[in-house]
Amino acid sequence: MDKQLPRYYEFGPFRLNVTEHLLQKSDGVVPLTPKLVDTLAVLVENSGHVVTKDGLMQTLWPDSFVEESSLTQNISLLRKALAEHGNGQQYIETIPKRGYRFVAEVRELNEQKGGLLVQERTHTEVLIEEHLIHDSKEPVRAANQFTVVQPTVTRDYHRVRKIALAGCAVLLLAAAFFLFQRDRTAKSAFAPKSIAVLPFKTMNPTTQNDLMGLGIADALILKLSRLDQSSVLPISSVFRYVNRDKDALSIGKELGVDTVLEGSVQQEGDRVRVTAQLISVSDGRTLWAGKFDDSYTSLFTLQDSISELMVTSLSSEIGTINKRPAAPLTKDPEAYQAYLTGFYFWNRRTKTNLSKAIDYLESAVNKDPNFAFAHAILADCYYLGSQDGYEILSSDESLRRANAAATRALALDETIAEAHATRAGILFEDGHYDQAEREFRRALELKPNYAVAHLRYGYFLFGDGKLSEALAQMKQAQQLDPVSTVNNVALAYVYTMMRDYDSAIKWNRKALELQPDFSGGRFNLAMTYLHKQMFAEALAEFETFKETDPPMALRGQAMVYGLSGRSKEARQLLKETMRGNPADQMRSLDMAILFGYVGEKETAFQWLEKVTPTRFTVARLRFDPELDPLRKDSRFQEYLDRHGIKAESD
């Protein structure tokens, strides 16, 4: 069989080599992905005619189902590339509700017609015109342009033919080398460093179908986490996008990842169709797309089957799966559905949602006592319940139940990072700091992208007085989950302790962009303004508390007046603050800070003597700028010495 000869099309300043998948111009090769070259070839070969969207999609993705948005993105990128390299000329016309038409004049070239290609490739010129004997009156074009020369057959023909063939061989070798380099570069560039798997959208939304979409994402994350080359965000970083109103690219930019995997789920009778696409966040390209059909027997079976098919397909493109097995889940579909629902509420972090999470997760472990992941998340629910603001049970009872569930989870599967992180928090609360640190490190060894573990370990290191190390952990938590209000506030807090107020303001503002009604972030921002002596800004922030927390507004304004030298007004506001005995609602350290700001030093030190120095309180005594009004007083250093607290240092 004869080897296929190259086919060329010329339009504008371009030459399209269909056979070798190259779009060329006089100054080199126009960088296009293979799929964009395929799209261009279909349009060019049908130049002047309408190519329907369905026809294009069937030609470009014959074995996959993709959404029309993938084609739209390809056309958009193609138009942009042609305009950039073609002096702004438009080549592709949209025919509303039908498809597209290539509108430029196209000339087809074929080597069978005797045309010889002259081009400049990577600054190496292959010149063959000078050997040809021709009688054309048209001047030969410069060697850095594409030229077709029709030779006259003379006695020098055979010598010329040998030279021409040698030139073509050089060109083909150069093309082969370019294609090899391009494929190798494209493949290495294709392997993303980070992936966010979004909860799959449901075409016919119901509570069960929403869980189906979340479950497929969860199963994919567990399997994709075994990829050698890529970091996959945990489900806790993406769960909030279950009912999202943002497009995948916007979410990818929010999360700071290279690629986003999104998809949809559609059920008709006993059949379920799942479509998915992997999108590059930097340029919106569809890097991979697939369609998967399966029979619906149960939510659990479907998720496991579909996720395994998808990972097998994806892994051939973005990296190999290592031999480490995914963490086991359960064989009980009802237990799995209860776990998913509990996991969903656990991530919402309110007292009501945490109570719901506990109910569902207790149900999951009752249905399957060996469901390690459910035990791990249940443990964290109880641990959070011991913290201020939740108080679902007494602190001691919450910690007892948290410890029991975490111990059970680790007995079933020692590799669950979530259980180690929870156990670290429990050990910290019990004062077993060395053991707690080991558990934090184990959690991060098992799951380096677990933002919660980085956050809690950051607070642990702050309590140990290691500000630089704490900052590194908080930065990592924020980078892994940048849309978490808590992570942004935590990062701002450490910057405040380091007295980098500009950075603290930046991250507090970021938190308030995400959640404007987050009072903790607003208070921290107000205090940071106060530390910078930006009194007007601080007063404005404290003013926002007047309706929701009037005592907080008064205390904040009193501190601003005290530090700005308006002592009389500060003391007046302090009197208003103390009416109704709100001191019962404040910690002794906070009372000492308040009286220190308004200049009532005697009362401030009386409150300071009531402070019991815990690990976190000691760190505040060492670093917190809120205590600066007291630091220059000799009594403050005497207090630190009596309690064996080191002076401020990192």
The CATH number given to whatever domain includes residue 223 is 3.40.50.10610
In a domain, residue 382? The reply is: no
Interatomic CA distance for residues 319 and 408, integer angstroms: 34
CATH number for position 104: 1.10.10.10
Q: How many helices (H) and strands (E) does the chain have?
A: 27, 16
Domains in the chain, number: 3
Q: Is residue 94 part of a domain?
A: yes
Alpha carbons 610 and 220: distance in angstroms, whole number: 53
CA distance 347 to 354: 8
pLDDT at 629: 94
426 within domain boundaries: no
**179 token code pair:** 């294609």
DSSP 147: B
- The DSSP-derived string for 489-556 is HHHHHHHHHTT-HHHHHHHHHHHHHH-TT-HHHHHHHHHHHHHTT-HHHHHHHHHTTTTT-HHHHHHH
pLDDT band at 537 (very low <50, low <70, confident <90, very high): very high
- Which of 108, 138, 173 corresponds to the end of one domain? 108
- Mean pLDDT across the chain, nearest whole number? 79
Whether residue 577 contacts residue 571, with contact meaning beta carbons closer than 8 Å, is answered with no
Decide which of 271, 299, 326 is a domain's last residue.
326
- 219 with 130, same domain? no
112-140 mean pLDDT: 34
Cβ burial 263-298 (10 Å sphere, 16+ → b, else e): bebebeeeebbbbbbbbbbeebbbbbbbebebeeee
Distance from C-alpha of 531 to C-alpha of 617, rounded to nearest angstrom: 19
Helix (H) or strand (E) holding 262: strand 259-268
**Phi and psi for 51 in degrees, rounded to 5?**
-105, 120
Q: What is the pLDDT of residue 272?
A: 77
Structural domain containing residue 182: 114-188
Within this chain, do residues 98 and 13 fall inside the same structural domain, yes or no? yes
Span 67-71, average pLDDT: 70
Q: Regarding predicted confidence, which is higher, 305 or 215? A: 215
Asked if residue 162 and residue 98 are part of one domain, the reply reads no
Query: For the sheet containing 14-17, what is the strand order?
Result: 28-29, 22-25, 14-17, 7-11, 107-110
Q: How confident is the model at residue 177 (pLDDT cuts 50, 70, 90)?
A: very low
Query: Does one domain contain both 59 and 102?
Result: yes
- Look at 559 and 577; give whichever has higher pLDDT: 559
Percent residues over pLDDT 70 in the chain: 76
φ/ψ (deg, to 5) at 400: -65, -45
240 and 131 within one domain = no
Q: Which residue has the higher pLDDT, 111 or 454?
A: 454
Last residue of a domain, one of 56, 75, 108: 108
Same domain, 29 and 104: yes
Q: Select from 444, 411, 441, 447 the least CA-distant residue to 427.
A: 441
Same domain membership, residue 302 and residue 198: yes
Is the pLDDT assigned to residue 102 strictly greater than 80?
A: yes
Token output for 366: 């009752």
Instruction: Give domain status of residue 438, yes or no.
Output: no
Q: Based on the domain organization, do 24 and 129 belong to the same domain?
A: no
Residue predicted with more confidence, 387 or 567: 567
Least confident of 148-162, 231-245, 461-475, 495-509: 148-162
**Is there a domain that residue 580 lies in?**
no
Please state, in angstroms and rounded to a whole number, the distance separating the CA atoms of residues 33 and 13: 19
Inside any domain, residue 128: yes
Pair 18, 84 in one domain: yes
Separation between Cα atoms, residue 213 and residue 274, nearest integer Å: 9
Tell me the two tokens of residue 256.
């700071």
pLDDT at position 120: 32
Question: Nearest CA to 267 among 209, 225, 217?
Answer: 209
Flag whether the pTM goes above 0.85. Answer: no
Give strand ranges (E) for 363-435. Answer: none
Asked if residue 280 has pLDDT above 80, the reply is yes
Mean pLDDT value of segment 373-391? 88
Compute the C-alpha angle 118/120/124, nearest 5°: 120
50 assigned to some structural domain: yes
What is the spatial distance between Cα 633 and Cα 78, in angstroms, rounded to a whole number? Answer: 70
pLDDT of residue 142: 32
Same-domain check for residues 96 and 179: no
Which residues are within 8 A (CB) of 380 and not within 5 positions of it... i.e. 6 or more apart?
346, 402, 418, 421, 422
DSSP 191-223: S-SEEEEPPPEESS--HHHHHHHHHHHHHHHHH
400 domain-assigned: no
Q: Say whether pLDDT at 99 is over 80.
A: yes
DSSP conformational letter for 270: T
Same domain flag for 199 and 310: yes
Query: What is the C-alpha to C-alpha distance for residues 76 and 49, in angstroms, rounded to an integer?
Result: 19
Q: Are residues 201 and 313 in the same domain?
A: yes
**Tens-place pLDDT, residues 519-530:** 889 999 999 999
Exposed/middle/buried for residue 41 (C-beta within 10 Å: 0-12, 13-18, 19+) = buried
The pLDDT value recorded for residue 275 is 83
